[in-house]
Structure 1
């Protein structure tokens, strides 16, 4: 199911640009595809890849989805206050205010699992909170990267890599008052977040998956002798069918696959069907083959290369100009399609990453298959900024 640019622009023609648009029909088809690829393993929804509370809530009532993976403890507290009952914090925190808010509310304490990867993180939490506080649920972040000698393939996250590393930290947590270890997380960025752009990449991903399956199973078995594990989380949008077959895990994580940004265009295991766009209006015609639109400087985080830039997708035949790129206030687009664009016409673009687009807009417009629209707030539209 491919989105129809004309349908999206027609449905939103009376709304001001810059404008974020979600093709609802494609969005929910993508959700169904994620569940099919997970093959019965529950999917925890990564909120950082959505950042629209209503979409998060509507996704979680669908079969195959269970729980949220939040990126900020303040965000996790807020989501629980809004009704969420199972939130895994994906990253360690030293947010004193959010930690105090966590222990001040029984529902938050019951629903949220805080991520750690070192005993030093617990030292900081203990220094920030009262001694006589309630118990905090913890999840241990285990490095899922592939290491071959001194070669490190994957992201630089947790220092916990080996069975001994994980077992030692689990034992330290078990012997420490005020904490309860309930889970393990293994994020395989070098598999889930790496497009299949070459034979070498595919070979590395296969080797990494095999190594990680063995090591993850050994770590889970060892830590289960130390703590009662309620969850073993792994995977991402790009690795559901690979990681989901591991009997050691209890759940997968995905989020970007709902919106399908450009960074997910080159995977072999699934077809990327874009659901998220933003519309910009032409405000200048500086040359016959150039149309300049208002806005557009929405660059994705990560390595500063061209694949982090937004991509014009309609009308076809437009591209960013290399020496200007996506501008702070205006963006010139060059190509054959520019000759037919007039002042006031609209261009559709896609973001390189999923949820980051929503940091630029206070609302998104959901467009259904019949062209009906619903405007819903993003986190920003609800006056929430979690960094």
Structure 2
């Protein structure tokens, strides 16, 4: 099915009434055997349009890793305010760039991470059309050396590259705050790398990416340490504003940049205000994994969820569902577990958590659950649920509107 996100956003927010919202989802999927993954079209439409409002006119590049469903990517990119894809592997980028129906599926794809996939590099180097549509991410000359070893300059298509510069904060007295990504941090380091790239035959420097994970990926309204987090983000943002401007100014003297990419779902307003940035990236805010509940700036709708069936009652206040152990990537802490969200008041057992095959759930609500009843969960991260299921069932109101395949459903497993 084709998703229509161009319709007017809902006048109300049905997800603010959990009993009504999850009740409607349950009704729509009553005839579908579990486990079942669902996508609420009204919530997706709301989130997609809200991201555009938050971006304040700066184009949004969609992070495919946070979606992993081609119909959703296509529908979002059809909306004004969205432009291009940030892919997470080169085989995925090549697949997304393939022609469908006589036209290129996507002609503006930036690979968000460096690649060492020799087979995929060879395929890119041998395909002029794909090479014109895909930009590789680099932060080290060794990555260019690898490409040259696979396909020597002069024998291949010109390779478009962008530099990933470290956007973390090196705080006085505290050290590195942020994720461990690029080795180039200071303007001089980034400029030196850019000059080396510009001097290499067979490569064209076209862009810069700086992802401020310590701001975009760190909630500031979680109820734990929020004051410290907000202090850190204010200081980091001020430092980054000056450093990114200096880096961009240095690079523009070296190569004509097509884009300067920054931000993420959690920092759209802040990054959009940076005049050095020409585009933003967002993806998690579309399906809204529960890790994105704890932010002051926005309140996304729970667009994606999955339901598991109760299969046993070991105790009156315990209901056991089949499945559940769909743990998100990252540190193995509670926040990476899927959370039962309806019926309200359920919780996993401390010694079992979300199980490989079964998940016992405790709480007063479990007393009213019976074998065959359904419990709704939200995944911690937005895109990773798609790796567990072949398709999403699309719900609009209380009606099952159709199904759409995930990457997995299309026979693809990129990472």
TM-score (norm 2): 0.92
Equivalent residue number for residue 73 of structure 1: 90
Which whole-Å CA distance do the structure 1 matches of 2:178 and 2:354 have between them? 28
Does residue 165 of structure 2 align to residue 142 of structure 1? yes
Equivalent residue number for residue 386 of structure 1: 414
Q: Secondary structure at the match of 2:164?
A: strand
- Given that 1:102 and 1:109 are in contact with CA atoms closer than 8 Å, whether structure 2 keeps it comes out as yes
The superposition leaves residues 18-67 of structure 1 with CA deviations (integer Å, 9 ceiling, x where unpaired) of 11111110101000000000000000000000000110011100011000
Does residue 30 of structure 2 align to residue 13 of structure 1? yes
Deviation of 1:328 after TM superposition, in Å, equals 0.6
Q: Secondary structure at the match of 1:143?
A: coil
- Given that 1:2 and 1:273 are in contact with CA atoms closer than 8 Å, whether structure 2 keeps it comes out as no
CA RMSD of aligned residues (A): 0.9
Equivalent residue number for residue 347 of structure 2: 319
Listed as ranges, the gaps of 5+ residues in structure 1 are none
Deviation of 1:370 after TM superposition, in Å, equals 5.2
Q: How does 1:246-285 map to 2 (within 5 A)?
A: 246-285=274-313
Which whole-Å CA distance do the structure 2 matches of 1:372 and 1:320 have between them? 29
Deviation of 1:182 after TM superposition, in Å, equals 0.1
Which whole-Å CA distance do the structure 2 matches of 1:285 and 1:107 have between them? 58
Deviation of 1:369 after TM superposition, in Å, equals 2.7
Q: Secondary structure at the match of 2:399?
A: coil
Q: How does 1:1-387 map to 2 (within 5 A)?
A: 1-3=13-15, 4-81=21-98, 82=100, 83-131=105-153, 132-149=155-172, 151-196=175-220, 197=222, 198-369=226-397, 371-387=399-415
Which whole-Å CA distance do the structure 1 matches of 2:342 and 2:129 have between them? 46
Q: Secondary structure at the match of 1:77?
A: helix
Which whole-Å CA distance do the structure 2 matches of 1:113 and 1:345 have between them? 48
The superposition leaves residues 321-346 of structure 1 with CA deviations (integer Å, 9 ceiling, x where unpaired) of 11000011111111100000110000
| Cα distance, 1:121–1:357 mapped onto 2, change above 3 Å | same
Q: Secondary structure at the match of 2:257?
A: coil
Deviation of 1:148 after TM superposition, in Å, equals 1.7
- Given that 1:144 and 1:187 are in contact with CA atoms closer than 8 Å, whether structure 2 keeps it comes out as yes
Which whole-Å CA distance do the structure 1 matches of 2:203 and 2:238 have between them? 33
Which whole-Å CA distance do the structure 1 matches of 2:315 and 2:397 have between them? 37
Which whole-Å CA distance do the structure 1 matches of 2:85 and 2:106 have between them? 8
Deviation of 1:106 after TM superposition, in Å, equals 2.2
Deviation of 1:107 after TM superposition, in Å, equals 2.0
Deviation of 1:272 after TM superposition, in Å, equals 2.7
The superposition leaves residues 233-291 of structure 1 with CA deviations (integer Å, 9 ceiling, x where unpaired) of 00000000001001111100000001111111110011132111001000010110100
Which whole-Å CA distance do the structure 2 matches of 1:6 and 1:369 have between them? 10
TM-score (norm 1): 0.99
- Given that 2:28 and 2:398 are in contact with CA atoms closer than 8 Å, whether structure 1 keeps it comes out as no
Deviation of 1:383 after TM superposition, in Å, equals 0.4
Q: Secondary structure at the match of 2:197?
A: helix
The superposition leaves residues 290-335 of structure 1 with CA deviations (integer Å, 9 ceiling, x where unpaired) of 0000111000111111111100000011001110000111111111
- Given that 1:2 and 1:274 are in contact with CA atoms closer than 8 Å, whether structure 2 keeps it comes out as no
Which whole-Å CA distance do the structure 2 matches of 1:202 and 1:352 have between them? 22
Q: Secondary structure at the match of 2:152?
A: coil
Q: Secondary structure at the match of 2:114?
A: coil
- Given that 2:211 and 2:262 are in contact with CA atoms closer than 8 Å, whether structure 1 keeps it comes out as yes
Listed as ranges, the gaps of 5+ residues in structure 2 are 1-12, 16-20
Which whole-Å CA distance do the structure 1 matches of 2:76 and 2:34 have between them? 27
Deviation of 1:373 after TM superposition, in Å, equals 2.0
The 4+ residue runs of structure 1 with deviation greater than 3 A are: none
